[in-house]
Structure formats: structure tokens, C-alpha cells
Amino acid sequence: MSSVSTDVARVLIAGSWRNASPQSTFHATDPNLNSALPETFPVSTWDDCEAALDAAAAAAVELRKLPAEKIANFLCLYADKIDSAKDSLVDAAFAETGLARSPRLADVELPRTSNQLRAAAEACRTGNWALPTIDTKAGIRSCYRPLGPVCVFGPNNFPFAFGSVSGGDFAAAIAAGNPVIGKANSSHPETTRLFAELALEAVQETGLPEATVQLLYRTDHADGERLVSDPRVGATGYTGSRSAGLTLKAAADRAGKPIYLELSSVNPVVITPGALAQRGDAIVKDFVTSVLMGTGQFCTNPGMVLLVANNDTEAFITAVKEQFESTAAGTLLSPAVTKSLGKSIQTLASLGAELLTGGGDPEPDRCAMANTLMRVDGTTFLSDPEGFQTEAFGNASVVVVANDLSQLCEVIGQLEGNLTGCIYSAEDGSEERDVEQISFALEPKVGRLLNDKMPTGVAVSPAMNHGGPYPATGHPGFTAVGVPASLLRFGKLTSFDNVRQDRLPALLQDDAPTDETMRLIDGQWRTGSV
Amino acid sequence: MSSVSTDVARVLIAGSWRNASPQSTFHATDPNLNSALPETFPVSTWDDCEAALDAAAAAAVELRKLPAEKIANFLCLYADKIDSAKDSLVDAAFAETGLARSPRLADVELPRTSNQLRAAAEACRTGNWALPTIDTKAGIRSCYRPLGPVCVFGPNNFPFAFGSVSGGDFAAAIAAGNPVIGKANSSHPETTRLFAELALEAVQETGLPEATVQLLYRTDHADGERLVSDPRVGATGYTGSRSAGLTLKAAADRAGKPIYLELSSVNPVVITPGALAQRGDAIVKDFVTSVLMGTGQFCTNPGMVLLVANNDTEAFITAVKEQFESTAAGTLLSPAVTKSLGKSIQTLASLGAELLTGGGDPEPDRCAMANTLMRVDGTTFLSDPEGFQTEAFGNASVVVVANDLSQLCEVIGQLEGNLTGCIYSAEDGSEERDVEQISFALEPKVGRLLNDKMPTGVAVSPAMNHGGPYPATGHPGFTAVGVPASLLRFGKLTSFDNVRQDRLPALLQDDAPTDETMRLIDGQWRTGSV
């Protein structure tokens, strides 16, 4: 391997930065300049995957032997290191993603990332994520246990908070006691590399197995499929494009390996006539802010607005159009995102959506498209519901104008699974019957139902569900955000039946492992010992 | 449809017993006589599935509107009706399965079935299955909500307790608020029909939507695949053969529909030298009872025993062989089970397992095979681990004799996912280091780890896990037994973000819906209102 150029970034396997088993190389792009960045990254062959899998499998065994406290210490130390390295992380991410240094990267996403790791550490330390359940009469005790090495494929749009070796899936997998093999998103490999360096330091300083965190940059598709279905893997977390995600899902499904996906979502926002009549201007502002924030590159970006035809609706559309036109278009994350957004807009237009503003060609000197608003009536939507739900990821949204409430509900009934759905309605209670009907149709379609609020904020709360029915995700029972619930994805339910006291996991022994540990003991959730 | 012979049993769709859209017909077999029973049952075409799906989708909407109390009332009334109809249910099941009337059917399985329904009713009434979570500061509340119509494919071996319209999957799906489309197991259609009659009565008397419980007897394979992947379906519960289950899984996976499977398991039992030395005779008795009970037709039947070569092991094997030979072989459930058992024994023998007793041809006049014990050494096992894990469902078991502890752990390392794994060891603590090694290797392979106890009893406890890693089931995070945990399979996690108080589900409103409802309110599990 020493013949590989030292100019190519090294992969992190089994605690050491090694030259990759090279297949080819790639560069990330600076989207503000639409030009390649200097660092060269390797596309690994299966040899690297094989080495990482072996090391991860061994690390998984060691991790199961360690006290939870030790894993929690790692997560906290890593969080501290991230906070300390803020400037270099922000520089790298800005160069690779074009996201604003401040407030976005430095003041919002970075603190969210380190705080997420700390919240996961707390869930790990108390064991409260694992739903420890003790039935003293039957002599049976159960909890969720680590399920084995987790592969994390992070998305392009959150280089920190959903990063392969720094984000929510990573934090959840580690806190549940599993090693992680991170696959960097190809649009920000250098940022991911910096995180992996910090993680390795924290691993070493807290005495975790060195292969607890490993990093590859890219593999070919076939090796990706082989990776998620390998017998050594416990589960996979994937956030990204629908097509790549579904290919990985098919491979994992065939092997009986859990894979948690976050694929696509248009996040419908329903605005009732009463809401528009009472506070149309405020809702225009809410909506424009939500759809253009981060150049619309959020999983929960409101890509579809559902309205009922009337004068207020026309006024709403006109006002949104004006604000789209008067607001400078932000930079998109990468040439791939720009291309995909252009293609989605074309698809929607070709189906019959009217282009109210935007569209056209991307800017030549940076990754950017004009803010785009499209319009379709309910009848046209219903002629091709699948087509009109094409996700336009970026600073674009589609307004669907239904003839009446009944058609509005018909449109909702044709929606695919989404992460979120919002309802803005009159504040005086005058529309409760209509809202009941809308809520009833919308709730089964979405993971999170909102009232009078745009969906783009995803609070880290135990009650958060960042999930939803297929194809928003692969399973309607799991969330990617919200500690401790997100950890359950990476746990294996295990019962211990008549198992001798001193052989039980600490979480299930008579003595409570921490003062904060809540356990379902003989039917009551409580702290304290048995 | 009136041209169809009234001799063919009717399917239950949308609250009425209708003539099936007929494709062909079939009969169940009395396994005690190895002859066809008189009742004729239809193989439905897609028309029946379509009608059932439409009705179920409408029922799902209605069920979401009902108070939990009403669904709980149905489950309790149905349980009472089952208890009252004991004699006819036992007669039908005895004729169709050959399982002993008493104690098995009348005194064990029937009370388990009605009590399971009552436990599910209680979980439904309190909402405690749905993990209601309230974050007052963030204004977000979440719980599991019904996910839509559930298809239940019940197994052959528990005509009551795992029956398509009476068993654990049924109870869990209904208690979670979903209608059920039951697909009767073809070996006991008449028993299933009797349950559906009782269920329909209870549905009508408690005022649930009539399509809450529907019943088909059989479809062709293509229609089964279409059913589990239909957009109107929320999820599927399947217990049965691995090949049919994997075909359904592939179809459901492609459509992004959850499917919960219980497929196959050899349930390894490890017996250490210390255990044999101290209480070999007692363990022989435990083992023989466990493996021959119900003619070995339990999902958790100990189909594999792992031992270390020594004189006590030889004595154990000899004693088990003698007891297998001196115990009359029970009746198997059906000609299909008999055929499959014979085939598995042949496969194991052809790979090199030594036939110690049993094997041979099935009995001609009833469904039965001699009690069968086979033996293989560790080295031979390791030459084809997959082959030697062929499940021999019935009164048969394979003894694997390892050279030493190290080889024993190597064998365990090669095991597929199983529902259970047991360790019998010395009671004086003299083997703790060895047991730690064995436990550590075995735990990741099984859903339930037992000490000094055979796996065949599956207590209905909140701490029970009747699940396990693939291919024992399709996902290591879920259990098919144990209320309330088993209900989570049929729930969709839903967050309500800033949703107005009176629009929230009762479970998430400030006022606690029942005095027993436990909710995670601002980080504390407790009863009472917000």
C-alpha cells in the first residue's frame, strides 16, 4: 500500500489512518465557486470494507463488556472536542457545502451536534433508552442490547448534525453500545475526516476499542450493498437520495438486516381559508422563511402547500411569489443538488405545473437556482398524484389549489408518506369541523403533525418523531431524532429468563445502575432497586 | 356468487359471511387418522382480497375515531365468548391438529388465548403500550398510533393462541387500534372459522366497525404477496414456514410495508460438563420432556443440544436415546409437517449426522414419526454450519458434541439467529468463567437467553421476548409475545407538534385518560395529568 500517493486522504480503520485500498479518487466541490476543492479522497475497494468489518465486529464484542459510563464518557469528551474545534470544522464545512458560517454552521448546527452527543451520553449512562423491564414473579427481565456494528451513510445537508461520524445516527448507534463504520457523504469528505480525527482522539483518551469509530469515504454501489448486508453488520442508518437508499434497502432486506432510511418528503402544509383570512401576511412570512432557509435544503422543507381556491389564496400566492423574487437565491450544496433540483422542476412543469417564478438554468459561477414557485390545481394534481409529489430538494415549492375542502382531502388522501404535515387554521375555533377532517386524513400520512407552525425546526426532544411512513422512511415505528427514542433503532430486544443475578447486564440486576435509571418493575415505571 | 355450492365454507368480509370468489377448494386433514375432514374451504381469488382490503381500510378510519375503551370492551367480550365456546373449539382443533384435548387445548392453550386478549384489552384501555411522551417545554407530544389494517397469517402449531383471528398477533393488532384480515392456517380452517364467528358476534355487540375482523382461508401465493404489499395494508404478522415467509417478506419489503415474521429456530441448549456432572439425570428429564412435548411442534422446541465430549456426555446421550425409544411418538399436526420432518432428518443424515434412534418412514395410519435423536461432532458441524442448522420441526433433536469449550464457542459463533438459547451449568459457581464466554457468544444470537431451564414455556410477561435475530424473525427489535411490547409492532410513531389541546389524541391531552396511564411527562414516567 505504500505505493499510494500520500496526497490521497487516508481512511480510518481499526484505529489507524491507513492508505485506502484504492479504486479511484474523487474531489469535493466548493459550491460557492462551482470548482473542485484540492483534497483528494479515495474510493475504497471491498478490501477496506472487509478490514473495517472485521475490526468493527471485534470492537462490538469489547464494547458489550464495558460499563455504559465509559461509552458515555467518550461521547461527552468527543462533544467537547467538537466545540473546541469549531473554527476548523466550520471552515471545512463552509468550503464543502456553502452553508453560512454564521449563524447556521457555527451557532446552530455545531452546538446542536455536540449537545446531541451529550444527550445520547446521558441516555447511555442511565440506560433509559433501553426500556429495562423486570418481571420478578415470572423471573424474566428484558431490555434493548447493542445489535452489532452500525454503518452510517450521512446526508449532504447537515455536515455536522447528521454527519456519518458526528450526527444523530452516529450518536444513537454508539450510545446503544455499537461501533460505527461511517461512510462520508461525498460532498463533504474533508469535514467528515476532521470529525473522525477528533473521534479517534476521544476513543483513545477514554479507552474504548479503537475500531469504535471508523471512516471510509466512498465505495462503489455494489460494495455498498454488500456492506449493509454483511453478516458482521448489525444495522444501517442512511439519509440521502431515494434511489440510492432503496438500492441499499433491497440489499439489507434480503439479508434480514435492519436499515433505517430517511429518503424524501414534500412536507405538505395545509392552510385553511380561515387562517389566510385572519393572518395571511404572517403566514406568507412564515412560509417564505421556512422554504428558503438553508436554500430549502432541509428534509422537512415545505415543498408543497395545499390551499382552497379563493381571493385570499390568490393574494397569498402573489405575495409569496413577490418575496421569492425579491429574496436572493442561496447557494446549493453541490452540483449534484443543483442538477437534481433543475430536473425536478422540469418534471413538475412537464406534468402541467405552472411556473410562477424561478426555474430556468442554474447560475454558472456557483451552485444556485432562482427561488422557484410552481402552481397546480387540485384536479390536475389528482390526475397524476405520484408525479406531482416529485421532491424538488432546494429553494422551490409547489402550491396545490383545490376547488374545495372535499378535493383538498382527496389530495391529502393521495399523498405518500412524509416526515411532516402542517395545518394552519383559524384561531377562533370556527373551522374545527373542517380541521378534524383534514387532520384525520393527514395524520396517517406523516410522522409529525404540526399546527400553525412550519416544519423546518426539528427539536431534539424525547417526543420528537423525525420519521414517517414509507417512502419518507423505511419503517413508521422509528425516529432519527429525539433521544432516547432514536437509540432504539440500534438495539436488539433481549429477554433474560431465569438468568442468575450476577450474570445479568447491569441494567437488569436488582441494584439500580444509576439513581436516574427508570425501569418498568412489576408494572410500574420507577427509579431505584428491585 | 349464488351459484357456488353452499357446501363450501364462506369467507367473512365486511361483517357478513359470503360465498368466496372461488378459485378452488381444499380440505383439512385429521392427523390422527391421516384422512381428509369433510368440510370444504375455498381458495379465494384476488376479488375477495380486494373486498376485504376496502372494508378494512374503511374500518381503520372508524377505529381511529373510537375511544380505546370500546376496543378494549370488544377484546374482553370476545375472550368471554371463547371461554364459553371451549368445547366446540377444542373439538374442532383436536380434529384438525391432533393436539391433545386436555390438558393442551382445553386447559393450557385456550385459557392462554382468552387471557392474552384480556391483557391486550388492558393495554389498549390504559394506552400504556403506546409510550405516550409529553414535552411541555418544547410543545411536542408523541405516542404510537394505529398504522392501518393488519394481515395475520397464523401458524399450524397453535390453533388458538397464535390463530389468525384469536392469537397474539390478532390481539396486538386490534389493541393497537387496527382491523385484522386473518388468513386461516390451512391445517385448521374450521377452528379458525369458529373463532371468526365469535369475533363477529363480539364486534357487533360492542359496536365496532363490522370489518374489524375479517377472514379468508387461503389464496394463491401471488395474491398473498399482493396482499401484504397493498397500499391499504399497514403491516403483516406471519408465523410459519421459512420459505413462504421469506417470499412474503420480499414482497412487503419492496412496498415499504412492515412485516413481522416468525420463521424458524433450532433453539440451542448448551449443557456444560459441570451441569451434567452435578445433575445429569434431572437435565435428561427436562430435555426429553421439552423436546417431545406437543410432539416437538413448538417454535421454541430445543432442536439442538451442545455438549463437550466426555463420559457424562455419553451417559446423557444414552439416557436421552433410551427415553426417546421408550416414549410413544405423538401425533404430528398434518401430513405436511410429517413430510417436512422426514425430509429434514434425511438432510441432516445425508450431511453426516449419525441417527441414534428414530428416523425411518412415517406411520401409515396417522401423521407420526418415531422420536428421533441425531448426533454430530463439532468438527463435522463446523464443516457445514448452515446445513446442520436445518430445522427438524417435530419430535427430533440434534446433539452436537464439541471437543472442548473453545470448539463449543466456535459452534455457537456459527449459529444463525434463534428465538432462544439456554445454558445449563454448575450450580456452585465453579464454571462462571466458562459460562461468561458461552453467554457472551450466545446472547447476540438469540432473542431470549435462559439459564437452567428449557425454552418451551413462553410466559405472557411484559419482559418476554418471543423474537430474535434473523432468520428467527425479520427484525431483532420486536416481540410477538408479551403485552404491551408486542403491540408496538402495529403502531406508527407520531409526534404532535404545537397541536391544539382539544385536537390531540386522548392519550396526549393534559388530562390523563385513565388513572393507570403511565406517560413520560417532561422526563418522568408517571400517572396523572400534566
- Whether B128 has its CB under 8 Å from any CB of chain A: the answer is no
Best probe of the A interface among B492, B526, B530, by most A CBs < 10 A, is B492
The whole-angstrom separation of Cα A366 and Cα B2 is: 71
Q: Which residues of A132-157 are buried (b: 16+ CB within 10 A; e: fewer)?
A: bbbbeebbbbbbbbbbbbbbbbbbbb
Give B 34-93 residues with CB within 8 A of chain A: 61, 64-65
Q: Indicate the angle between helix axes A46-65 and A221-228, nearest 10 degrees.
A: 20
| Residues B67-128+147-263+473-492, CATH architecture | 3-Layer(aba) Sandwich (3.40)
Partners of residue B476 in chain A, C-beta under 8 Å: 147, 258, 492-493
| Residues B268-451, CATH architecture | 3-Layer(aba) Sandwich (3.40)
The whole-angstrom separation of Cα A322 and Cα A151 is: 44
Q: Over 50: is that where the pLDDT of A2 sits?
A: no
In 3-state terms chain A splits into helix, strand, coil percentages (rounded to 5) of 45, 20, 35
Say which of A134, A147, A435 has its CB closest to residue B503. A435
CA B297 to chain centre: 12
Residue in B with minimal Cα distance to A129:
B523
Banded model confidence at residue B4, pLDDT cuts 50, 70, 90:
very low
- Whether A436 has its CB under 8 Å from any CB of chain B: the answer is yes
- The torsion of the CA quartet A301, A474, B507, A129, rounded to 10 degrees, works out to -100
Say which of B138, B446, B459 has its CB closest to residue A140. B459
CB contact under 8 A, A462 and B258: no
Q: Which of B76, B124, B151, B299 is catalytic?
A: B299
The confidence score (pLDDT) of residue B21 equals 85
Number of Cβ within 10 Å of residue A87's Cβ equals: 10
Residue in the structure block whose three cell numbers are 412560509: A287
- Whether B142 has its CB under 8 Å from any CB of chain A: the answer is yes
Residue in B with minimal Cα distance to A123:
B523
- Whether B528 has its CB under 8 Å from any CB of chain A: the answer is no
Burial of B201 (0-12, 13-18, 19+ CB in 10 A): middle
Banded model confidence at residue A206, pLDDT cuts 50, 70, 90:
very high
CB contact under 8 A, B138 and A494: no
Under 8 Å CB pairs connecting chains A and B tally to: 207
Distance from CA of B326 to the nearest CA of A (A): 30
Partners of residue B265 in chain A, C-beta under 8 Å: none
The whole-angstrom separation of Cα B107 and Cα A420 is: 49
How far, CA to CA in Å, does B425 sit from each of A68, B267, B300, B422, B428? 28, 17, 20, 10, 9
Residue in A with minimal Cα distance to B258:
A475
Beta strands at B304-308 and B268-271: parallel, antiparallel or unpaired: parallel
H or E stretch covering A63: helix A46-65
Q: Across A327-417, where does the E strand assignment appear?
A: 354-359, 370-377, 396-402
- Whether B201 has its CB under 8 Å from any CB of chain A: the answer is no
H or E stretch covering B182: strand B180-183
Is A76 marked active-site? no
- pLDDT digits 0-9 by tens, B392-447: 999 999 999 999 999 999 999 999 999 999 999 999 999 999 999 999 999 999 99
- Whether A521 has its CB under 8 Å from any CB of chain B: the answer is no
Number of Cβ within 10 Å of residue B502's Cβ equals: 9
Beta strands at A35-36 and B133-135: parallel, antiparallel or unpaired: unpaired
- pLDDT digits 0-9 by tens, A376-395: 999 999 999 999 999 999 99
- Whether A232 has its CB under 8 Å from any CB of chain B: the answer is no
Predicted ipTM? 0.96
Q: Which residues of A332-354 are buried (b: 16+ CB within 10 A; e: fewer)?
A: bbbbbbbebbbebbeebeebebe
The whole-angstrom separation of Cα B95 and Cα B100 is: 10
Partners of residue A147 in chain B, C-beta under 8 Å: 444, 469, 476-477
Number of Cβ within 10 Å of residue B24's Cβ equals: 10
Give B 380-419 residues with CB within 8 A of chain A: 417
Burial of B222 (0-12, 13-18, 19+ CB in 10 A): exposed
Say which of B134, B432, B447 has its CB closest to residue A495. B447
Provide the grid cell at A336.
449534484
Handedness of CA B11, B17, B18, B19 (dihedral sign): positive
The whole-angstrom separation of Cα B259 and Cα B253 is: 8
pTM of the model: 0.96
B481 contacts: CB under 8 Å, gap ≥ 6: B168, B458, B460, B464, B465, B466
Partners of residue A526 in chain B, C-beta under 8 Å: 525
- pLDDT digits 0-9 by tens, A325-336: 999 999 999 999
Q: Across B27-167, where does the E strand assignment appear?
A: 29-30, 35-36, 41-44, 133-135, 140-146, 150-153
Write down the domain spans for chain B.
Answer: 67-128+147-263+473-492, 268-451
Whether the domain at A11-27+35-263+480-485 and the domain at A268-451 fall into the same CATH topology: no
Nearest 5°: CA angle at B478, between B484 and A448?
80
Distance from CA of B66 to the nearest CA of A (A): 13
Q: Indicate the angle between helix axes A110-126 and A68-84, nearest 10 degrees.
A: 170
The confidence score (pLDDT) of residue B417 equals 97
8 Å CB contact between A125 and A514: yes
Handedness of CA A511, A513, A515, A520 (dihedral sign): negative
CB contact under 8 A, A462 and B133: yes
Residue in the structure block whose three cell numbers are 372461488: B22
8 Å CB contact between A344 and A393: yes
The whole-angstrom separation of Cα A253 and Cα A258 is: 7
- Whether B428 has its CB under 8 Å from any CB of chain A: the answer is no
**Widest distance between CA atoms in chain B:** 74
Partners of residue B412 in chain A, C-beta under 8 Å: none
Distance from CA of A407 to the nearest CA of B (A): 18
CB contact under 8 A, B476 and A61: no
B247 contacts: CB under 8 Å, gap ≥ 6: B221, B224, B225
The confidence score (pLDDT) of residue B2 equals 37
- Whether A494 has its CB under 8 Å from any CB of chain B: the answer is yes
Beta strands at A304-308 and A396-402: parallel, antiparallel or unpaired: parallel
Q: Over 80: is that where the pLDDT of A6 sits?
A: no
Banded model confidence at residue A1, pLDDT cuts 50, 70, 90:
very low
- pLDDT digits 0-9 by tens, B9-46: 999 999 999 999 878 999 999 999 999 999 999 999 99
Mean pLDDT of A388-412: 97
Residue B430 has φ and ψ, to the nearest 5°, of -75, -10
Say which of B61, B482, B493 has its CB closest to residue A477. B493
Q: Which residues of A47-59 are buried (b: 16+ CB within 10 A; e: fewer)?
A: ebbbbbbebbbbb
Which amino acid is residue A407, in one-letter code?
A: Q
Provide the grid cell at B394.
417435530
3-state class (DSSP) for residue A411: helix
- Whether A430 has its CB under 8 Å from any CB of chain B: the answer is no
Closest CA to A302 of A481, A453, A175, A159: A453
The confidence score (pLDDT) of residue B1 equals 36
CB contact under 8 A, A503 and B459: no
Residue in B with minimal Cα distance to A246:
B254
Residue in B with minimal Cα distance to A414:
B231
- Whether B133 has its CB under 8 Å from any CB of chain A: the answer is yes
CB contact under 8 A, A463 and B140: yes
Q: What percent of chain A has pLDDT over 90?
A: 97
Residue A213 has φ and ψ, to the nearest 5°, of -125, 125
Closest CA to B249 of A254, A493, A235, A474: A254
- Whether B504 has its CB under 8 Å from any CB of chain A: the answer is no
Banded model confidence at residue A3, pLDDT cuts 50, 70, 90:
very low
Q: What percent of chain B has pLDDT over 70?
A: 99
- The torsion of the CA quartet B518, A440, B259, A222, rounded to 10 degrees, works out to -110
Distance from CA of B261 to the nearest CA of A (A): 11
Distance from CA of A483 to the nearest CA of B (A): 11
Q: Which of A49, A76, A143, A299 is catalytic?
A: A299
Q: Which of B50, B109, B210, B262 is catalytic?
A: B262
Partners of residue B494 in chain A, C-beta under 8 Å: 443, 446-449, 465
Residue A16, CA atoms < 13 Å, CB-side half-sphere: 4
Give A 245-274 residues with CB within 8 A of chain B: 249-250, 253-258
Mean of the per-residue pLDDT values for chain B? 96
CB contact under 8 A, B465 and A142: yes
Partners of residue B455 in chain A, C-beta under 8 Å: 497
The whole-angstrom separation of Cα B93 and Cα B190 is: 8
Say which of A133, A450, A479 has its CB closest to residue B463. A133
Is A143 marked active-site? no
The confidence score (pLDDT) of residue A406 equals 97
Pick the CATH number of A11-27+35-263+480-485 from 3.40.605.10, 3.40.50.10440, 3.30.420.140, 3.40.50.300: 3.40.605.10
- pLDDT digits 0-9 by tens, B461-500: 999 999 999 999 999 999 999 999 999 999 999 999 999 9
- pLDDT digits 0-9 by tens, A14-64: 999 999 987 799 999 999 999 999 999 999 999 999 999 999 999 999 999
**Widest distance between CA atoms in chain A:** 74
The confidence score (pLDDT) of residue B6 equals 56
3-state class (DSSP) for residue B238: strand
How far, CA to CA in Å, does B232 sit from each of A242, A359, A414, B13, B147? 22, 36, 12, 15, 10
The whole-angstrom separation of Cα B487 and Cα B173 is: 6
Say which of B488, B493, B520 has its CB closest to residue A465. B493
CB contact under 8 A, A493 and B61: no
